Every structure is written in structure tokens, then in C-alpha cells.
Amino acid sequence: MTRATAVRRGAAEVTAPPAPPSNERRLEAYRWMVLARVTDERCLSLQRQGRIGFYAPLSGQEAAQVGCALALRPEDWVFPAYREMAVALVRGASLTEIFDQLIGNARDRIKGRQMPNHFGFRAQNFVVASSPIGTQISQAVGAAMAAQRRRDPIVTVAFFGDGATSSNDFHAGLNFAGVFRTPTVFFCQNNQWAISLPRERQTRSATLAEKAEAYGFPGVVVDGFDLNAVYGAVTEARRRATSGEGPTLIEAQVYRFGPHSTSDDPRRYRTDAQLEAARQQDPVVRLKNELTAAGKLDEALDEKVWASAKEQVAHALEEAESAPPIDPRTVFDDVFAERTPRLEEERRAYDSDPAAGGGR
């Protein structure tokens, strides 16, 4: 499929208009997608080398994430799951800050208190990810309700996978959004596997997008390998939301090329043939071919794009690995606005105990 496909709702049909980005915008998107792919491959390698503890790959989902992010505004709020690194990059998050969090060094803004890959960026309205499945969905609806009451012309976007559509928060969140017509975009990256559970074992619905019908708003199925289709669908969903027409559920159909996480071995539940068939739709290759056909990209420029991405990743990683480790004393901070007398006592005890690492 090359454009968004409507899910019928009663007698009405909702379609996302074909609003492809300009060639210049698509070249920008290609740079982001290449950077995400290079970073992703490096992070997977770093985990295997023991240099980071955990990672959730995104390869295969670059067009879905970049296409969605480019259709948003800086003032919109993003509620990610745990593999939306490409979204964070497009919104302006620093690659060095991402590596700081993955490593858990002294510059990690979260101070090592979250799993690697669970970063957040206040300046980019990018909420910290959390491991429990689907919780960000109802959080995004709550934030949208607050914006609605303040009359802020923004949208909130909840990112989640196909597995999260079986969570309580998915149904509660969509129901609230439908009842209160919140300015929310529900962006489901259906990568076909909820860890090892195939999509067809999870629901009898023909699509995940059609689940929106029960809650009174449109659901749209889009080819998640197609940057243009994703961009158009999100652009229309954002227009609806800011016009007071309520939420939209977008199902971007993609495929996870790598494991669910570095704790997973996908060879145990899917075949090489399945993976190879999916790789024929590689979103990075697809966009490269489109730009080449449009005369906006040639092999020389493409080599520069990849070389630049590799240089950025190497530089950011070097900076992050050169930073000192987190000071263990930070464990006493941020518990309360000010340290309590008991925390002060515990910190002093730590400082005076060489066996605990203090006394330095």
C-alpha cells in the first residue's frame, strides 16, 4: 500500500489526504532515517560488547517514526514506548545525551534511574519512557485533556506497539479520548510481533486501527514503510485534533528487523524467510530509491549521508564514554524537594564508610 487506508465507521469513511512532504523535506527525512539506522546498529553492537546493558532496536521502523515526527510541531507532546529513538532525534534530542543515558554516566539526566533506552527530554516535550506496557497511552490522554482545558493548540502523541493494544491502558485511554474528544494521536507501530507473540494470535480484529470504531473516532491503516503515507496520515490526524474533531488511531504496519530487545532471540519464533520478505520493503532503501528517481540523491551524496551519520555516532559515543561514572551520592537526591534529616544522616554514613565506596 502506498497511502493511508481508511477504516469504515458507520456510513462515513475517513481518509488521510495525500499530503507528501517536499523533496527537500524527504531528503531531510532520509538523513534522519540513516542516522537512526546507523545509531541502532551501533547500539546493538555496543550491548553485545558489554558497553551498554540493554537496548531495544528500531530497524525497519524508521519511516514510521521519522514520518510521524516530521508531521508534528515542537509544542506537541510525545509519550513514547521504548524504541522511539528516531522520534527523539528528529525533535532535536542530542545524540550524545542519548548515549549518556544508554551508558548511565555522570551526565545522564535521569541519573541511572531508568533502564537504558528509557530516556526523556524536557526541552523536546519528550516524556520519559517506562517499561510497563501501555501506560503512556492513558498519560497522553490526560495531558491532552489538560491542554484542552487550557485551550493550548497542541496534540499529544502516544506511541505503542501492537502488543499494547491488549493492555488495559489502551482501552481505558481510547475510551476517555473518544468521550472527551481529546486532541490525541494514537500511533501504533504494528511490527507484527508482541515480543514472540504474532499479531494473529493476539486479536481476531482484521486490523488494529478498527478498534477505534468502538470508541467513536477514526482508525487509519497506513504502510509504515512509506514515509509519505505516514506523514500524510499524521498531518491529517493533527489537523483533526487541533480543529476540535477529536483523536485518531493510526496503525502503521511495519516489521521489526531485529530482536524485540537485546534479551530476545527472534530466531526461536520466526523464520529467515519471513525476515527476508520484510527486508524487501526496507524503508531506508525505499526512500533512497524515491529520492534517486526524483533527482535529489545520487551515490556520491548518499555516501556522504552515511559517512556523516557514522561520524556523528562515533563522536557522540566517544564523548559519552569519556564522561565519568555517576556519583553514587546521587541516590540521596531527588527523593524529596530537599533532603530530609534521615537522608542527610544516611548520606553522612555513606561518606564515612570506605567499604561502601564513601570516605573519599
Number of other CB atoms surrounding residue 108 within 10 Å: 23
Q: Is 348 annotated as catalytic? A: no
The catalytically annotated residue of 3, 9, 239, 269 is 269
Q: Show the cell assigned to 317.
A: 559515543
- Position 283, amino acid: P
CB 146 within 8 A of CB 90: no
Q: How far is CA 121 from CA 93, 181, 309, 312, in A?
A: 7, 27, 21, 19
The catalytically annotated residue of 83, 181, 240, 256 is 256
Q: Is 118 annotated as catalytic? A: no
Give the list of residues 6+ apart from residue 62 with CB closer than 8 angstroms, or none. Answer: 32, 33, 36, 37, 86, 283, 284
The catalytically annotated residue of 83, 199, 260, 286 is 260
User: Which of 166, 155, 163, 168 is closest to 248 using CA atoms?
Assistant: 155
Query: ∠ at Cα 56 (55, 62), nearest 5°?
Result: 125
Q: Is 171 annotated as catalytic? A: no
CA distance 157 to 186: 6
Active site positions, annotated? 256, 260, 269
